[in-house]
Amino acid sequence: MNEMSASLVAILNEQISCAEAMLATLARENEALVAGDAELLNSAGAEKARLVEALDSLEHERRALSDAIGASFLSGDEGENRSRPAEWRALLDLIAECKQQNERNGALVKARSEQVRIALRALRGTEAALYDPSGLEHATRSARPLGTA
* pLDDT one-digit tens code per residue, 133-149: 777 766 555 555 555 55
Split into its structural domains, the chain has a count of 1
| Domain of residue 14, residue span | 3-124
Inside any domain, residue 29:
yes
Inside any domain, residue 30:
yes
Report which secondary-structure segment, H or E, holds 118: helix 86-124
Read off the CATH number of the domain in which 13 is found. 1.20.58
* 15-74 per-position pLDDT tens digit: 999 999 999 999 999 999 999 999 999 999 999 999 999 999 999 999 999 888 876 656
Inside any domain, residue 64:
yes
Inside any domain, residue 113:
yes
Q: Flag whether the pTM goes above 0.85.
A: no
Inside any domain, residue 86:
yes
Q: Name the residue type at position 49.
A: A
Between these two residues, 94 and 134, which has the higher pLDDT value? 94
Report d(CA 17, CA 23) in Å as an integer.
10
Instruction: List the one residue out of 18, 26, 20, 124 whose CA is nearest residue 61.
Output: 18
Inside any domain, residue 34:
yes
Inside any domain, residue 137:
no
Residue 144, CA distances (Å) to 19, 103, 118, 130 in order: 49, 37, 16, 18
Q: Are 124 and 143 in contact (CB under 8 A)?
A: yes
Inside any domain, residue 108:
yes
